[in-house]
Amino acid sequence: MEEEFYVTESQSKASFDIKAFLFRVLSYWKLFVLFISIGIFIVYQQNIRKQQSYRLSTQISIEEESNPLFTSNTSLTFNYGGVSGKVQTMITSLRSRSIHEKVVDNIEFYITYLKQSRFRKDDIYTDAPFRVHLTPDTNQLVGVPIKVTFLENERYELSINFESNLARTQNFTSKKKSNIDVPLGVFKKQYSFGDTIDLPYVNGMLYLAEGRTVIPNEEYFFKLSNFDAVVAKYRKKLVIDNPRNSAIINLSMVDVNKAKIVDYLNETVKVLSEDQLSRKNQFVTNTINFIDKQLDRVKSQLTLNADSLNRYKQKNKIFNIDEKSVTINSKLSSLELDKDDINKRLAYYISLKSYLQTSNAFTEVPAPSVAGIEDANILANIGKINNLSVQKSKYGSTVRKDATIFADLNRQIEGLKTVLLENISSASNELKRELSTVNTKIAIEDAKMRKLPKAQQRLFDIQRQYTLSEKTYNVFLAKRGEADIIKSASVSDILIIDPAKDTGATPIDLKLSSRYLFAIIGGLLPPLLLAFLLTFFDNKLHNPQVLEKISSIPLLGVVGKNDLTNNMAVHLKPKSTIAEAFRSIRSSLQYFYKKHNLEGTKTVMVTSSVSGEGKTFCSINIATVFAMSGKKTILVGLDLRKPKIFGDFDIKNDIGVVNYLIGQKDIDQVIQKTKVQDLDVITCGPIPPNPSELLIGEKMDMLIKNLKKTYDYIVLDTPPIGLVADAFELLEYADASIYVVRQDYTKKGMVNLINDKYNKGEVKNISFIYNGYAQKGKYGYGYGYGYGYGYGYGSYGNGYNDDETLKKSFSSKIKSFFKIS
């Protein structure tokens, strides 16, 4: 049912009414004058206050600069995956917050130098004759301009106007923010250039810029801004362009100060270059860190072994050893070195295997050459898996996580991991065989060594430990030197083609005079657009005549807008125009019943299209006017999904028609008296899970039959037809049906549903009530049942109502002046 309703609504939309649009536009002449005046005034104020903006740019190229000292044996470089991959990585870096934080920090753009002009404080940057040096790791006042007035003898006065007892500060070293208490009003204090300012909210010193002098009584300002806000501001301003996906990146920026643009762009390129070089050397840096840890460990062991060897020689006074003993010790020492080398490579393989099995990133593995790994397959596969991991990391910040590129990279990485793990297993097995052979030889030499005197054996043990530590230390020292050479020889892949420079840039803003044309056009557009949208999307009923045009269903009556908080308008204000409208509706219904020769109890069903059209309001007041005429009347709440009527009568909804329909209560137990004489109410009661099934059961027939034995009129308050089918099930019980529409609320398309049912003959004896009617200068009017005007507003408007008439206040006149018809 709901789906059908919306289809008919969309089909009912009329073509655009040009005539209505033009009349609406003409009626908005006051808005045109207002908006054009506002636009011209705003442009004028902007023109006299605006500081012109400029655009400057810089251009860089991404090159493939390889390390001239790199060899296949070192395996210490960091590969980005070609120029194309580097360009995308650079663009991602330029958009990152971290790089802009470094730039703002380096050039201290959180300090702004200002000079008061006629309407604003201009950002003068390098034109300021002084500079501010902040004391590190101290709190600084942010967001408040600090006034500097030059005095005689290189002195100045610092002035701060505190408008609140609480000030916001920030530590620009740690970036932490805090609030401090400050004295309300203007703080002033005099200093000399070079003096240290030591205040709870300002810490640092002012000094004259190189080659500058000051003029006494000149006033300047400097302001410290929130660091994160400054970073966000310049991050948003930086425009990045990569023409045709080439190796060229153009950087540009718009600002009111050209010198600031130049410094920011050039510093950005500098920080990017340093950051790129650091990442390019990441593999080398990881290896250096690894070697440094090993050197610290081996150096301590070497020192201990050397001290132990010297002490043992002196203590046992062993200075000369026979040649045979030396030969045995030499062989044993050599074999121990071989064993240590094999163990070192095995340990590397074990560490690498664990890393491959537990990690998702492979850019932090130390170079295999550090552990003496020379297997070509392992070296090549580590390089490949490292490159793929870098690519995956790069795409992670620019490509969606579910992109197919990640699945492809993961497949390649997993394939290389499988091959690499097989290489490691094969190499480890070979090393274990070598280790077994070396251990056998060591055992033979060790047996010979045990035949020597105990003192010599101990000496040789200490000496071998020393020799082993010394050899290991020398190996790591050589690798450290090799890594340092490679790192120092690396150059950035960023080539600056055109650094940022002010070569006489002109303002990019519109000419001040041409802005007035845009102000006029801008003033015309809002009222025109408003008129067009209201006309195009206006699909609501605004007067009863429109309803008569779109439907052949008769109009029973017109009801004015209810300004009371309670729906019982007829009972509370029986002499009001709304009460007269409902009396007119009562007369029309009585005429209808008489015309159709209906005797005995009469029933009327009240429904609507959707919630909010006043169905319950009309039900309550129709029942009230019948009761006030001396007829015994009952109002039955059958909107089981959204019960309402109980609140207006100040009665409870604990027991109602639902309890009767499910057999819990008798009819006498669900009927409740009201404060209106001769009017009873049956509320809905608790909301049931199956309202439609309850309303079509035999109990519903019995309810109506029993009520007809007692009451003259039965008013059924039913659910909206446009939302549910319940109301259609109740038509068989109604002698007359009332369909409520509401002014400026009910859409024309909503009427189509009931029109369709009426035209097909599925619904008979139905009439409209037009609710919420309001018209300028009139109270309104009512209609009879299909016979023109009846008992409505016009007949009783002047002498038979007690509605209050208020004089228009000044605000009401203003609203009336700008009211949109």
Q: Are 123 and 53 in contact (CB under 8 A)?
A: no
More confident residue, 514 or 257: 257
Provide the 8-state DSSP code for 789.
B
Chain segment 236-286, per-residue pLDDT in tens = 999 999 988 788 999 999 998 999 999 999 999 999 988 877 766 666 666
| pLDDT at residue 72, as a whole number | 40
Chain segment 171-208, per-residue pLDDT in tens = 999 999 999 999 999 999 999 999 999 999 999 999 99
How is residue 130 written in tokens?
A: 């002084």
Mean pLDDT for 1-7 is 37
Chain segment 379-401, per-residue pLDDT in tens = 777 777 776 776 666 555 555 55
More confident residue, 131 or 69: 131
The top-scoring range by mean pLDDT among 80-89, 212-221, 413-422 is 212-221
Neighbours of 165 (CB within 10 A): 11
Chain segment 322-370, per-residue pLDDT in tens = 555 556 667 776 777 777 778 877 887 787 777 777 766 655 555 565 5
Chain segment 550-590, per-residue pLDDT in tens = 899 999 999 998 888 888 889 989 888 999 999 999 999 99
Report the relative pairing of strands 555-560 and 766-773 from DSSP bridges.
parallel
How is residue 762 written in tokens?
A: 């599925």
Share of the chain above pLDDT 70, in %: 76
84 pLDDT band (50/70/90 cuts)?
low
Cα 129 from Cα 25, distance rounded (Å): 58
CATH topology of domain 555-561+571-796: Rossmann fold (3.40.50)
Q: Which amino acid is at 254?
A: V
Comparing 288-297, 512-521, 576-585, 787-796, which segment has the lowest mean pLDDT? 787-796
How is residue 796 written in tokens?
A: 């009783």
Mean pLDDT for 131-158 is 94
Comparing 144-148, 474-478, 531-535, which segment has the lowest mean pLDDT? 474-478
Which of 365, 356, 373 has its CA nearest to residue 285? 365
| pLDDT at residue 623, as a whole number | 94
170 pLDDT band (50/70/90 cuts)?
very high
Cα 284 from Cα 326, distance rounded (Å): 41
| pLDDT at residue 82, as a whole number | 46
Chain segment 699-727, per-residue pLDDT in tens = 889 999 999 999 999 999 988 886 566 67
pLDDT of residue 17 exceeding 70 = no
Q: Are 20 and 807 in contact (CB under 8 A)?
A: no
pLDDT of residue 522 exceeding 50 = yes
626 pLDDT band (50/70/90 cuts)?
very high
Comparing 69-78, 598-607, 611-620, which segment has the lowest mean pLDDT? 69-78
Cα 186 from Cα 197, distance rounded (Å): 17
Q: Which amino acid is at 357?
A: Q
120 pLDDT band (50/70/90 cuts)?
confident
Comparing 83-92, 102-111, 572-581, which segment has the lowest mean pLDDT? 83-92
How is residue 774 written in tokens?
A: 């309001």
Neighbours of 301 (CB within 10 A): 17
| pLDDT at residue 666, as a whole number | 92
Mean pLDDT for 398-415 is 71
Provide the 8-state DSSP code for 794.
H
Chain segment 27-59, per-residue pLDDT in tens = 889 999 999 999 888 888 877 777 778 899 999
Task: Supply the mean pLDDT for the chain.
Answer: 79
230 pLDDT band (50/70/90 cuts)?
very high
pLDDT of residue 402 exceeding 70 = no
| pLDDT at residue 348, as a whole number | 77
Cα 373 from Cα 381, distance rounded (Å): 13
User: What DSSP element (H or E) covers 554?
Assistant: none
How is the chain split into domains, by residue range? Answer: 2-50+509-537, 82-274, 282-319+345-435+459-489, 555-561+571-796
More confident residue, 724 or 160: 160
Q: Which amino acid is at 553?
A: I
| CA angle, 390 then 59 then 237, to 5° | 85
pLDDT of residue 477 exceeding 50 = yes
Chain segment 756-785, per-residue pLDDT in tens = 888 888 888 899 999 998 865 333 333 333
| pLDDT at residue 485, as a whole number | 73
